[in-house]
Amino acid sequence: MDTKELLKKVRKIEIKTRRLSDHIFGGEYHSTFKGRGMTFSEVRQYQFGDDVRNIDWNVTARTNEPHVKVFEEERELTMMLMADVSGSKLFGTQNQFKDEIVTEIAATLAFSATQNNDKIGLILFSDEIELFIPPKKGRSHVLRIIRELLEFQPKSKKTNISEALKFLSNVMKKKAIVFMLSDFVADDYKQTLKISAGKHDITGIRIFDKHEAEIPNIGMVQMQDEETGELLLVNTASKKVRTDYGKFYNDKVEYYKDAFTKSGAGTIDCRVDESYVKKLLGYFKRRG
């Protein structure tokens, strides 16, 4: 993609997603995530009416006078966008490829966070960390994120969600609002997700195409695994082949739902031929 075409695409996405974030998601995002908790500010002497649960017993013992911890509302949030850039992102049979939907959703969320004066960061991952953009504020920063989502070429086509979550925990020491965008055709990430969700507010956004769930009966066809590059001759006329594939796919989806639910993380399912606007709005309203 040449520079002129890239800038044109970035501008098109900015216009569309900013309109959404301005008129629809800005207020919903703020009301959903305004409960950003309290952070420690200082210790001062106990005053009549102070909550005894806030007494700092260490300082009290040291000074022989009661002291309390003072907390203040944390005004600023950090949003981390985590996007799966493995080979399967290029799948799509209706309207758009999965990676195009990922870019639009990420941009909408980023502009919504910008309205709230929050920082936004980006992690692109496959089975390794492909790119990390530390959290910053502002429109130009969001535009950089959109550019990377549009044109970044990953080194690997495989997926490792657990490694991505470990990296998140290493680079984000304070609590962050995390949106992980993937098809979640992966496994072995339950424990890592549970640890990460204990620290961060995580939502998994599963982007998928309805034709991924089953193989149609179209006879003998050559297929390529987008993550391994392997070419396979598949007899789609075989009921067993279709059944086995359906079970494999459904097992991955169930694993995803079970992992996120049990860890206390949120989930949004976005099919490429459906409106992600309704999905995001519904999720924000349920959480708010």
211: pLDDT strictly greater than 90: no
pLDDT for res 86: 87
Which has the minimum average pLDDT: 44-48, 78-82, 205-209, 264-268?
Answer: 44-48
| Residue-range definition of the domain harbouring residue 260 | 3-33+75-287
* Mean pLDDT to the nearest integer, 58-75: 82
119/212 same-domain check: yes
Summarize pLDDT for 37-63 with one digit per residue, the tens: 566 668 889 888 788 888 999 999 999
69/123 same-domain check: no
The more confidently predicted of residues 197 and 90 is 197
Residue 261 tokens read as 């639910």
208/95 same-domain check: yes
The more confidently predicted of residues 284 and 223 is 284
CATH number at residue 221: 3.40.50.410
Residue 157 tokens read as 């086509």
86/52 same-domain check: no
249/136 same-domain check: yes
87: pLDDT strictly greater than 80: no
Can you tell me whether residue 43 is helix, strand or coil?
strand
Strand partners, 206: 182, 269
53/160 same-domain check: no
Nearest to 98 by CA among 184, 198, 221, 39: 184
Angle between helix axes 98-115 and 139-151 (nearest 10 degrees) is: 170
DSSP category for residue 52? G
pLDDT band at 95 (very low <50, low <70, confident <90, very high): low
Which has the minimum average pLDDT: 60-64, 74-78, 107-111, 246-250?
Answer: 74-78
Burial of 102 (0-12, 13-18, 19+ CB in 10 A): buried
pLDDT for res 93: 47
110/178 same-domain check: yes
Residue 160 tokens read as 């490792």
* Mean pLDDT to the nearest integer, 85-90: 68
Nearest to 40 by CA among 19, 15, 67: 67
**HEC-encoded secondary structure of 77-140:** CEEEEEEECCHHHHCCCCCCCHHHHHHHHHHHHHHHHHHCCCEEEEEEECCCEEEEEEEECCHH
pTM over 0.85: no
Q: Domain count of the chain? A: 2
76: pLDDT strictly greater than 80: no
> Do the beta carbons of residue 71 and residue 54 sit within 8 Å?
yes
